[in-house]
């Protein structure tokens, strides 16, 4: 029965996301098609390169913004897992396979899997919540967070983040839905795929690792050691593959090509002085990710927006953490903070975007802490904050779609 509801939830999200895609298509191409290709569908080109046995792009995209030009070849600095997922579709449909439709579908699956995760967390008594609170959390994730604005527009940057969320929610769902060593393996595979999508998502493996060790602690040290090997093996393999991938392209296992990527001119001076990660970027990033309120909507709104002001239901995460702090909550918070650090030190706020798009990276553990806090709040408060969140992102996504068109 939960899976039936999960499928229906995913179909509902697909239908609503489809309306936003149709609106964007009308603004940009003058029709209502869901299968256009964005101007930055770079993962399609990387999938095509893989199909032809090479690591550099075989065909030059119309736009080369943010691509890496090295030794007269074009590369992507983004890790390659989204392109791996696209290989069968590009093999059949070619470079004209819609990255917008692909991202929409993965986004709808994310909503379905998030529903199942919350259901399993409740059935395992990890989080107590009513049906009302569960539905509010799922609805808020789908339509009241930056997940909405990223799921309906395609583009390499947004596709990577939607795929990253998919990998993380698979890891967390596998952790609580499966038994014995299958749970360790599923968690490891999910985090491995996440690392091959966005490297810093490796920190989100902290809570699944803690939970599985804690839950199975009575099985004995030898059983746990073998089980941990099941979980670690895919992650180690992913890191090794990334090292080989980087080495084959740029001659260094740690080089992703950032020194040669064709960045926007506004970033060139800062990059030359401070590099890609530096405390110099912290004040601006913190402001646009946690303090800035992007209403009334204007061109500046594309700089980002406060995580908590745009999705005020997330304030429940604070009460969820501080009420009866335990190790599980500490691990969730640590996962969030460790993932947030490189985001805050990164050159650039994530522009152009609506909402603080980089915070989607840690939304799974944030949603869990929110559930722990919101379950003690009156229903009318939870419903009102969820509604405010949804209004923010519906209006913002429509506006942002118009900006991109």
In a structure prediction context, what are the per-residue pLDDT tens digits for the chain, which is 405 residues long?
678 899 999 999 999 999 999 999 999 999 999 999 999 999 999 999 999 999 999 999 999 999 999 999 999 999 999 999 999 999 999 999 999 999 999 999 999 999 999 999 999 999 999 999 999 999 999 999 999 999 999 999 999 999 999 999 999 999 999 999 999 999 999 999 999 999 999 999 999 999 999 999 989 889 999 999 999 999 999 999 999 999 999 999 999 999 998 887 778 888 889 999 999 999 999 999 999 999 999 999 999 999 999 999 999 999 999 988 899 999 999 999 999 999 999 998 999 999 999 999 999 999 999 999 999 899 999 999 999 999 999 999 999 999 997
- Say what the pLDDT of residue 1 is: 66
Q: Report the C-alpha gap between 292 and 53 in whole angstroms.
A: 45
b/e sequence 338-375, b meaning 16+ C-beta within 10 Å? ebbebbbbbbbbbebbbbbbbbbbbbbbbbbbbbbbbb
> Quick check: bond before 352 cis, omega within 30?
yes
Q: How many domains does the chain have?
A: 1
Name beta bridge partners: 277.
346
pLDDT given at position 324:
86
pLDDT on residue 261: 87
Rounded to 10°, the helix 2-28/99-123 angle is 150
117: exposed, middle or buried (C-beta count within 10 Å: 0-12, 13-18, 19+)? buried
Which residue range forms the structural domain that includes residue 170?
A: 2-404
């Amino acid at each position: 029965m939960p899976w039936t509801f999960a499928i229906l939830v995913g179909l509902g999200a697909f239908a609503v996301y489809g309306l936003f895609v149709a609106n964007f298509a009308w603004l940009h191409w003058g029709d209502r098609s869901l299968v256009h290709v964005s101007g930055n569908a770079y993962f399609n080109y990387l999938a095509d390169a893989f199909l032809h046995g090479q690591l550099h792009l075989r065909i030059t995209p119309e736009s080369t913004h943010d691509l890496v030009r090295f030794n007269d070849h074009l590369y992507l600095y983004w890790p390659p897992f989204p392109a791996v997922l696209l290989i069968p579709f590009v093999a059949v449909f070619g470079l004209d396979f819609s990255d917008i439709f692909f991202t929409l579908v993965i986004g709808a699956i994310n909503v379905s899997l998030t529903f199942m995760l919350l259901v399993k967390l409740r059935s395992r008594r990890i989080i107590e919540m009513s049906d009302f609170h569960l539905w509010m959390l799922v609805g808020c994730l789908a339509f009241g967070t930056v997940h909405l604005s990223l799921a309906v527009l395609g583009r390499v940057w947004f596709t990577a983040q939607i795929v990253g969320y998919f990998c993380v929610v698979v890891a967390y769902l596998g952790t609580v839905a499966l038994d014995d060593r299958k749970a360790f393996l599923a968690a490891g595979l999910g985090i491995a795929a996440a690392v091959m999508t966005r490297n810093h998502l490796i920190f989100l493996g902290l809570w699944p690792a803690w939970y599985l060790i804690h839950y199975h602690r009575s099985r004995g040290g030898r059983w746990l050691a073998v089980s941990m090997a099941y979980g670690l093996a895919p992650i180690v393999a992913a890191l090794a593959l990334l090292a080989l991938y980087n080495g084959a392209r740029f001659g260094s296992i740690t080089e992703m090509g950032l020194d040669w990527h064709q960045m926007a001119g506004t970033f060139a001076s800062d990059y030359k002085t401070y590099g890609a990660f530096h405390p110099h970027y912290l004040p601006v990033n913190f402001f646009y990710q946690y303090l800035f309120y992007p209403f009334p909507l204007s061109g500046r709104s594309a700089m980002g927006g406060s995580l908590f002001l745009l999705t005020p239901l997330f304030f429940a995460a604070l009460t969820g953490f501080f009420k009866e702090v335990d190790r599980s909550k500490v691990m969730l918070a640590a996962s969030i903070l460790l993932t947030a650090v490189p985001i805050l030190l990164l050159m650039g706020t994530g522009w152009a975007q609506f909402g603080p798009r980089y915070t989607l990276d840690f939304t799974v553990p944030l949603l869990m802490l929110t559930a722990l806090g919101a379950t003690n709040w009156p229903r009318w408060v939870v419903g009102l904050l969820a509604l405010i969140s949804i209004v923010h992102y519906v209006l913002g996504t429509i506006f942002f779609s118009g900006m991109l068109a």
